[in-house]
Amino acid sequence: MNLHPKIRPLWQRALAIPALTLLMAYKALRLPRWILPRAIRSIATHWDYSMFWMLIRSGVTRAYIDQPCEFKQPDSYEPKVLVAPEYQLSTDQIRQFNKDGFLGPFDAFSREEMADFRVEMLAAENTKSKTYDFCTPRDRHFEMPRLWDHMTSPAITERLAQLLGPDLLCWRSQLFYKGPHSPAIQFHQASTFMVEDYLDPAIFPSDLSEIFQLTVWVAVDDATPENGCMQFVPGTHDSIRTITFGGEEGFYGAQFSLDFDRDAHDIVTLPVKAGQFIIFAERCIHGSPPNTTDGHRLAFNIRAIPTNIPVYTDKEKYRSVYNGGKYYLKNWGVSVLRGEDHHQLSRSVDPRELHKDFARELPKAA
Ligand SMILES: O=C(O)CCC(=O)C(=O)O
Ligand SMILES: [Fe+2]
C-alpha cells in the first residue's frame, strides 16, 4: 500500500473496506503471515488495530499519519552527557524541549560558510544522487563532503547528545530548496517514519513513548515568515494525529490536512538566521508557510537516532510518497554522527570513505 492521501474514487474505497476488514481479522486470528505477499505481510505485521480501524470507519478518508504512539515525559531533565561549556544545555532548556517538542535557534555556522555552502547546494539541485541514481535531495551527505562536515559540527552533535545520548547515528539527511513563490509544507508529524510507504517503519525503537529520533534543521539562507520559515505547534509531540485525505495541494504534491484543533493551539513561527539551527522531535507538529518572495529559502536537515535503534532492517527499497520515487537501499547506510556504534544493528556507511572513493573517480585535471 502506498498512502497517497488523495480521496480515492468511491468504487476503490468500497473495495478497500472489506479488504482491510479481512486483513484486520486475519491479524487478530494470528493466521500465518508467511503465505501473504510481501506488502500485505508488512501491513498485517506493522499496522496496529487503530490504523486499520481509522481507515475502515472513515470510509478510507482518514488515516493515522504514522504509527500511533504517545509521549511520556522522562524521569529527569538532566543532560544525557556532559559536554564542553559552550554547548551545554541547562536543565530548564531540556525541560522546555520536552514540554514543547522543539528547541532553538542555536548558532553553528558563519554567514560566509553558509554563503559558500549555498553555491554548492544550488549546483547539486538538479543532479542525480550517486546513492539512489535519480535526482533527490535526500542523503546527499554520502557525496558532499562539506555537507557531512557541517552535519558533524560539535555545535550540533554536542547539543543532540545531551538530549539523545552519547552515541548517535544519522539515518537520513535532506536538502530543502524552497524556491521563489513555492507552496507551503503542510503541518505534519512522524514517529517511526512509516509515513513513507505506509508498509514498514523505517526505524524500530524499543520504546515508542520516548523521544527516539530528533531532526536538526539548519538554515542556509535567513528563514523568515515571508520566505517560509519553520512553524511549530508546541506540545503536540504528545501523540500522533490523523490526516484527512484531500484538501490543499502542497508538500511535494500530497493532498491532506492534519487533524488538530488549530484554535486551541498556539502556532510558533520561528525565524532563523543563516547558519543557525533548530532541534525538534519529528513527532511535534511542524510545517512551513509558502515562500512569497523572489528568493530561495535553502536549508538542510539531519535525522538523528541513538545507536541502539535499528533502521530499515531487511528492507531492500521503500517508496516515498513525498520525495517521489523508489529508494533502493543497497548504497544507503547509517553513519556515525558522534561517539561509537557498539550495537551495529543496521548497515553502516562512513561518508568520509565514500568521499575518498568519489574523489578518486573524478577525472584528473590535465
Ligand atoms: O524545510 C521545511 O520547511 C520543512 C522541514 C521539515 O519538515 C523537516 O525537516 O522535517
Ligand atoms: Fe518534517
In terms of residue numbers, what domain contains 44? Answer: 1-64
- In this structure, are 129 and 160 located in the same domain? yes
Coil, strand, or helix at residue 353?
Answer: helix
Whether 291 lines ligand 1, by a CB cut-off of 6 Å, is no
pLDDT value, residue 252: 57
Distance 237 CA to ligand 1 centre (A): 15
Q: Answer yes or no: is the C-beta of 176 below 6 A from any ligand 1 atom.
A: yes
Confidence of residue 255 (pLDDT cuts 50, 70, 90): confident
Identify the band that residue 362 occupies on the pLDDT scale cut at 50, 70 and 90. low
12 and 150 fall within a common domain: no
Of 28, 48, 64, the residue that ends a domain is 64
> Mean pLDDT over residues 225-248, rounded?
92
* Model pLDDT, residue 365: 53
* Residue 366 resides in a domain: no
Distance 214 CA to ligand 2 centre (A): 10
Give yes or no: residues 16 and 143 share one domain.
Answer: no
pLDDT 10s digits, 118-153: 999 999 999 999 999 999 999 999 999 999 999 999
Q: Is 185 in the pocket of ligand 1 (CB under 6 A)?
A: yes
How far is ligand 2, taken at its centre, from the CA of residue 138, in Å?
Answer: 13
CA of 162 to the centre of ligand 1 (A): 22
- Calculate mean pLDDT across residues 212-217: 97
Q: What is the pLDDT of residue 2?
A: 46
| C-alpha angle 142-144-145 in degrees, rounded to nearest 5 | 95
Ligand nearest, relative to CA of residue 175: 1
Position 237 in a domain: yes
- Is residue 335 exposed (0-12), middle (13-18) or buried (19+ Cβ within 10 Å)? buried
Query: Residue 42 above 60 pLDDT?
Result: yes
In the predicted model, what is the mean pLDDT of residues 202-223? 96
* Residue 169 located in a structural domain: yes
Give nearest CA residue, ligand 1 atom 2.
288
Query: Is residue 51 situated within a structural domain?
Result: yes
Using the atom order of ligand 1, give the atom closest to the CA of residue 286: 7
Domain assignment of residue 199, yes or no: yes
Q: Is the CB of 215 under 6 A from ligand 1?
A: yes
- Both 31 and 155 in one domain: the answer is no
Report the C-alpha gap between 185 and 101 in whole angstroms: 18
Task: State the pLDDT at residue 251.
Answer: 56
Q: Which of 281-290, 292-301, 354-363 has the lowest mean pLDDT?
A: 354-363
Residue 3 is predicted with a pLDDT of 52
Check whether 259 has a pLDDT greater than 80.
Answer: yes
Quick one: pLDDT at residue 358? 85
Residue 284 banded pLDDT, cuts 50, 70, 90: very high
230-232, strands of its sheet edge to edge = 185-188, 286-288, 230-232, 268-270
Same domain, 255 and 285: yes
Q: Is the CB of 288 under 6 A from ligand 1?
A: yes
Which of 47, 64, 81 marks a domain boundary?
64
Residue 231 inside a domain? The answer is yes
117 and 154 inside one domain: yes
- pLDDT at site 267: 95
Question: Average of pLDDT values for 172-199?
Answer: 92
* Average pLDDT of the chain to the nearest whole number: 92
Q: Find out whether the beta carbon of 189 lies less than 6 Å from any atom of ligand 1.
A: no
Residues 115 and 85 placed together within one structural domain of the fold: yes
Domain boundary among 9, 42, 64: 64
What pLDDT does residue 1 have?
42
Task: Starting from the CA of residue 190, give the closest ligand.
Answer: 2
pLDDT of residue 324: 67
Whether the model clears a pTM of 0.75, i.e. scores above it, the answer is: yes
For residues 247 and 289, state if they share a domain. Answer: yes
Task: Return the pLDDT at 45.
Answer: 94
Percent of the chain as helix, strand, coil, to the nearest 5: 30, 25, 50
Both 279 and 341 in a single domain? Answer: yes
Residues whose CB falls within 8 Å of the CB of residue 84, separated by 6 or more in sequence, listed in order: 154, 158
Query: What are the tens digits of pLDDT across the range 66-121?
Result: 999 999 999 999 999 999 999 999 999 999 999 999 999 999 999 999 999 999 99
- Determine the average pLDDT of the residues in 188-194: 94
CA distances from 235 to 100, 102, 238 (A): 4, 9, 6
Q: Is 281 in the pocket of ligand 1 (CB under 6 A)?
A: no
Are residues 166 and 220 located together in one domain of the fold?
yes
Residue with cell 539515518: 171
For residue 338, give the CATH number of its domain.
2.60.120.620
Do 24 and 80 sit in the same domain of this protein?
no
Residues 250-278: what's their mean pLDDT?
85
In total, how many domains does the chain have? 2
The reply to whether ligand 1 has any atom less than 6 angstroms from the CB of 299 is: yes
Domain presence at residue 214: yes
pLDDT value, residue 363: 63
Residues 191 and 338 occupy one common structural domain: yes
Helix (H, G, I), strand (E, B) or coil at 301: strand
